[in-house]
Each structure stands twice: as structure tokens, then as C-alpha cells.
Amino acid sequence: MTQLQTNAKAAEGMKAFEKVQHDIEVMEDDLREEGMEDIKIKAHCDNERREVNNHQESLEFDMDALQKEMDSGEAKKKLLAKQIQHTTENEQKLEKEMKEYLNTRNAQNEAFKTALKADSDAVMLLAKTIEALSKYAENNLSLAQKMAGHKKQEPEYTTSEDTAPEATFSSASSGGSETTGIVGVIENIKQDLEEEMAKGKDEEAKALQAYKDTLKESQESMAAMEKKIASMEVEIAETTKLVADKQQTWDDKKKAHDNNEAYLAEIATECDWMDENFDPRKTARDSEIAGLDDAKGALAGEKQAALIVTAKRMVGKKPSVDDELKELDETERSLSFLQRSK
């Protein structure tokens, strides 16, 4: 073998060493890139799960708070509805009482007017009676006065002077006195009736005023109850809207919560697999990289030995048979390693 052939063969061997070394480095780079990809995937899974779970906790907290507010709103609506019913019942009760009071007042007024008319008619009749009796008494008094102005005549004797004639004598003023007494009694009755009428009018006026006062108070109470009912109805409407708004917000958060659950389920396959295999894969890669590093070290030693042999040949020293055999053996092992590495 010529020196040129020897040098060419040595250069080819160096290229083979360099290719194997390059292949080993590429394999190590691939393994390291795979490790970085695993780290990236695991970090992404951990971050996504942590952020989504934190968001889920926040959503659940907000949903619980919203549910409590909605429950409170519904309880408030029920309480207001009961208060409206109670107030309405009181209003109806008061209205019924006022109708009964009005009926009683009308009956009292009707009785008063009937009694007043009866007393008025009686007073008028008594007044006419007094007037008639007074005229009668006045006429009798005038007659008596006329009779008192004549001379007293002797009685006539029809038989003899010793026998007195039958005669009836009456006081000229007796009829007038009796009439005057009756008129006085009637006047007293008339006066009693007039006083009774005045008293009845006074009592009727007081009863009417009491009714008016009670009616005013009742109307004010009913107006207050109507205002209270209207206010509570407005409050119910506002609470209903508030609950509806809270429900809409709750629904939106529930939808977001469901979407998060779906997303966690979507990434679960890849992330669960990575959680389970991350450490074993890392151990296997580290072991493989260590093996490749060992191979690189061995290859570097062989390459150094080959360089020494090549250098000796290049200086013209003829290798011995043992050296050539050793070189061939080393070259064969190098080629065998390259085949195993591919």
C-alpha cells in the first residue's frame, strides 16, 4: 500500500469518526429537545390546570354568593307578599267596618228624623191646642167680665114669698181658671218635647261629627295602606328584576364553569399521560444521553489513537506487522460501532 493510499484511508477513517460523533451529538440534541418539549408540555399542563382550577374556585365562590343573594331576594319577595296580603285584609276589614258604621249611622239618622218629625208634629199640635184653649179661656173671661158688670137681680118667687126658687149658681171665673190650668200642663208638655228635640238635634250633630271624624281617620288609614301596598309592590318588582339579573350572571358563570370543565377534560389525556410518564421519560433520556456521552468518549479515544497512527505514517515510519494488525482491528471496531449507531 502506497503512502498516498494510506493517507487517503486515514482521512476516510477520520471522516467516519466525525460522522459518528456528529450522529451522536444529533441524537443527544434530539433527546435534549424532547426533554425540553416534555418540560414545556408539563409546565403548560400545570399552568393551565392551576389557572383553570383557580378560576373554577373563583366562579364557584361567586356562584355561591349569587345563589345566597337570589335566595334572599326570593325570601324577601315572599315576606313582602305576605305583608301585602295582611295589609289588604286589614284594608278590607276596615272598609267593611266603615260600611257597617255607615249603615248604623244612616239608621240612627233615620230614627232621629222620624222622632224629630213626630216631636215636631206633636209640638205643632200642642201649640194649636194651646192656642185654641187660650182663645176659649179668653172668651170665657170676657163673658165673665160682662156678667160681673150687671146688677145682681132678686130671685123671682113663683109660689110664695116664703119658698125659694130652684136655681144653679156658678163662678163667673171658674171656666177660665180650669182652662188656664190645662193650658199650663200642655205648655209644659210642649216645652219638654222642644227640649227633647233640641237634645236630639245636639246628639245627632255629635254622632254625625263622630262619624265624620272616624270616616276621615279611616280614609287616611286606607290611603296609608294603599300607599304601603303600592310601595311593597314596587319593591317586589325591583327585587324580581334584581333576582333575574343575578340569575343571568349566575347562568353566565355556570356556563364559564362548564366550559372550564370541558377544557380540563380535553387536556386531561395528554396532561395525565405526561404527569404519569414525565419522570420515567426523563430517567430514560438521562440514561441514554449518558450512554451516548460514554460512546463519544470512547470514540474520542479511538480517534486520538488513529490520529497518532496516521501521524506516524505521515513521517515515513514503516509500521510493523503488529501495528498494521492493530490498526485494522481498531478500524473494524470503529466500523462496527458505526453500524450499531445507525
Task: Give the C-alpha separation, 51 to 36, whole Å.
Answer: 22
pLDDT digits (tens, 9 = 90+) for 146-204: 555 544 444 444 444 444 444 444 444 444 556 667 888 888 998 999 999 999 999 99
Q: Which has the closest alpha carbon to 17: 326, 297, 318?
A: 297
Task: Give the C-alpha separation, 2 to 10, whole Å.
Answer: 12
pLDDT digits (tens, 9 = 90+) for 112-136: 999 999 999 999 998 898 888 888 8
Give me the pLDDT at residue 329, please. 58
Q: CATH class for domain 3-147+172-314?
A: mainly alpha
Output the average pLDDT for the chain.
80
Q: Are 259 and 76 spatial neighbours (Cβ–Cβ below 8 Å)?
A: no
- Mind spelling out the 3-state secondary structure of 275-302? HHHHHHHHHHHHHHHHHHHHHHHHHHHH
pTM value > 0.75: no
For the chain, give every domain's residue range.
Answer: 3-147+172-314
Task: Give the C-alpha separation, 250 to 258, whole Å.
Answer: 12
